[in-house]
Amino acid sequence: MIPHEPPRVVTDSTADIPAAIARRLDIAVIPCQIHLQGRTYLDGVDISRQELFAHMRTGEMFSTSQPPVGVFAEAYRQALAERRHVVAIHLGASFSGLHDTACMAAREVDPARITVVDSQQVSMCLGWLVIQAAEMAQQGRPPGEIVAHTRQMIPRLRLFALIDDLRFLHHGGRVGAISAMVGQLLSIKPVVQVRQGRVDVVSKVRSFRRGLDHLRQTAEGLGTLERLAVLHADSIGPARELADRLARLVPATQLLTAEAGAIISAHAGPGAVGFACAIGD
């Protein structure tokens, strides 16, 4: 390995990085699998987010799974054909076996040249780590520096989501059936936080409008933000409203609005809105 040569950055589709950004930063994205109506699809390849949301709006549940180890191995081999080192940043190990599968693939291909980082995160919090790593690679930074910076960034990441449909949290095992039913009847909207490998309900509000206010207040209370992504699952109107209300918190170049991907949508359900941010040092 040439230690000062920048690496190729690899992630998976749970990072929810907009395709245009992934192309611009030369990020390799491994698609996860979506299981729906007895068929298996590749996330973002042969089923669109809009098609997925349309199924969800009818109350239809789907499941997701990690790609097999061979898919990771092939992606790493292709990346190593272009660069002498790979930095692979994937879905948090506490949420899925995907991280372990990635580590198996790295050991199979070339463990001396592939570094796998446990992001401890999901969606665009994972995405921000990957984007930061890819930007550093384009600046010519060496693998060791990129990995160290990435790991230092993890404790500063927060994801908050306002849940509109509790049936999906129940299906994913996050709330019990009675709690989901009562919550739906009383229009209770939980706000969940993802932080360093944990998912916790941090608040329960009595309307979606109050939930948006809670998200705004939460973001404002986090201090200086370096990066901010507003996410939604088929709820572009509220997402744009939230983005407008949070725009002053970060430079315009560090704010984006994006659709939540399959893995977070499977649990958050249609109508969910949230944000993923990196808090400043």
Instruction: Note the pLDDT tens digit of each residue in 269-278.
Output: 888 999 999 9
Say whether 156-279 and 8-153 share the same fold.
Answer: no
Kindly compute the dihedral angle of the four CA atoms of residues 99, 104, 110, 112, in this order, to the nearest 10 degrees: 60
All structural domains of the chain with their residue ranges: 8-153, 156-279
Q: Where are the alpha helices (DSSP H) in the chain?
A: 19-24, 49-57, 69-82, 98-109, 123-138, 143-153, 166-171, 177-185, 208-220, 236-246, 262-268
What confidence score (pLDDT) does residue 176 get? Answer: 42
Residues of the chain where predicted confidence (pLDDT) is lower than 70: 1-3, 167-187
Q: What CATH number is given for 156-279 in this structure?
A: 3.30.1180.10
Tell me the C-alpha distance between 279 and 23, whole Å: 26
Domain with residues 8-153, CATH architecture = 3-Layer(aba) Sandwich (3.40)
What is the reported pTM? 0.91
* Cβ–Cβ under 8 Å, residues 280 and 225: yes
Instruction: Note the pLDDT tens digit of each residue in 33-42.
Output: 988 888 998 9
